[in-house]
Amino acid sequence: MLSGMADLLSVSTAVPSRAAAIVLARSVISSGLAAGSQVAGPVGSVFWHAGEFGEGEEWVVSFKTTAARYDELEAHLIEHHKWQNPEVTAVPIARASVAYVEWVERVTAK
């Protein structure tokens, strides 16, 4: 394993529209909390919310960042999200090219 590899994360959330996804992605990237973002959608969602069954469409926004920046990224996403209790999840990136890892670490360094 490469040095620092376990420190890379893919963080995601979902938002109600493409426009909201782009606004959120721009605010995160311009703040240096993630090196890059992808927007995908719409995706169908089926869920429980406030004790009720729901269905709808959402747009998924994912970010590549480091574990060191996760807490700040999570706080930023929650503060700037349109929903009161948004999903914010992170999974470790198990493998990536050396150049990619260096890029994410360089862009997100404080």
Tell me the whole-structure pTM to 2 decimals.
0.91
| Domain housing 50 | 5-100
User: Does the structure show a pLDDT above 50 at 4?
Assistant: no
Number of domains the chain contains: 1
CATH assignment at residue 27: 3.30.70.120
> Distance between CA atoms of 85 and 88, rounded to whole angstroms?
9
Closest CA to 81 of 7, 4, 28: 28
Assigned domain for 105 exists: no
Higher pLDDT, 58 or 1: 58
Closest CA to 65 of 29, 23, 26: 29
Return the pLDDT at 6: 54
**Do residues 57 and 81 make contact, with C-beta atoms less than 8 angstroms apart?**
no
Assigned domain for 26 exists: yes
Structure tokens given for 58: 């959402």
Assigned domain for 89 exists: yes
Return the pLDDT at 110: 84
Query: If pLDDT is split at 50, 70 and 90, which confidence band does 50 have?
Result: confident
Assigned domain for 107 exists: no
**Tens digits of per-residue pLDDT, 54-90?**
999 999 999 999 999 999 999 999 999 999 999 999 9
